[in-house]
Amino acid sequence: MRQSRIAAGACSLLLAAACAFAAPATAQAPRTVAGGYVALGDSYSSGVGAGDYLASGKECKRSSRAFPVLWAEAHAPASFSFAACNGAGAKDVLTEQLGHLSTRTGLVTLTVGGHDSGFVGVLATCALGGAERCLSAVSRSRAMMDGSLSADLDRLYTAIRSRAPAARVVVLGYPHLYHLSGSCALGLPDGERATLNDAVDHLNAVIAQRAAVHGFTFADVTAAFAGHEICSSHPWLHSVDVFSITESYHPTAPGQSLGYLSALTQAS
């Protein structure tokens, strides 16, 4: 998520912190895909947390280890446009990223909805406010998912189809944040971790439902990340990092390659 939009949440998270999908080697050349590939979306698509950020568009924190880059390298589309940007919500994708689409676009991928549902604020509230305030914040977030986010997704999906009528569109969801009964000695109790995971499930359900209405494919990543959430023995998600607050709760490089790339490969 764009750093300018998470500054308030960052302070709360800092206080809370104080208390390769590798395909088998083959001699074959990458399979060429007809049409161009356009990667839209938020920080989960731009690769925040994966490192090796590209020099161009630094504010978007696009990583050379992000799953869209890895997919393009493996499949050699006719063209590749990496439009995803840290902090993008559905309205940002609609107004700032769709210029990359055309009648020649063959594949579109997208992650969006976490910012629109206020998840940064939810995480900060749950970290600092106790169980009751956490439940209230999650309840408000779920209402946003069912209301404004659902409507914004419909507008965005309609525009994507209009600009790229021949494209296969794959909408990817979000992973569970926490492994329950895991290795974390400090932080949220498992009850609140489960509440956050349930909220992610609800967000994914809203995204999947709206994607289906528009004839898009939804790729669920929760199975790919199972056993690799925060508090697992081998997490593919960053926990709160006081030295790089923006990367907190984002996939690591293995999360991009073994989690997201795997899900996209299966869906496409």
What is residue 232's DSSP assignment? S
63 has which bridge partners? 53
Distance between CA 127 and CA 11 in Å, rounded?
12
Distance between CA 261 and CA 75 in Å, rounded?
12
43, 81, 117, 150: the catalytic one is: 43
Q: Is 250 a catalytic residue?
A: yes
Distance between CA 54 and CA 20 in Å, rounded?
20
103-114 in b/e burial notation, b at 16+ Cβ within 10 A?
eebbbbbbbbbb
Q: Is 43 a catalytic residue?
A: yes
Please, which residues have CB within 8 angstroms of residue 11's CB and are 6 or more apart in sequence?
A: none
The CA-CA-CA angle for residues 203, 204, 209, to 5°, reads 105
Q: Of the candidates 25, 41, 30, which has an alpha carbon nearest to the alpha carbon of residue 70?
A: 30
100, 115, 228, 250: the catalytic one is: 250
Please, which residues have CB within 8 angstroms of residue 46's CB and are 6 or more apart in sequence?
A: 60, 61, 62, 63, 66, 82, 84, 85, 86
Distance between CA 254 and CA 256 in Å, rounded?
5
Q: Which residues are catalytic?
A: 43, 250
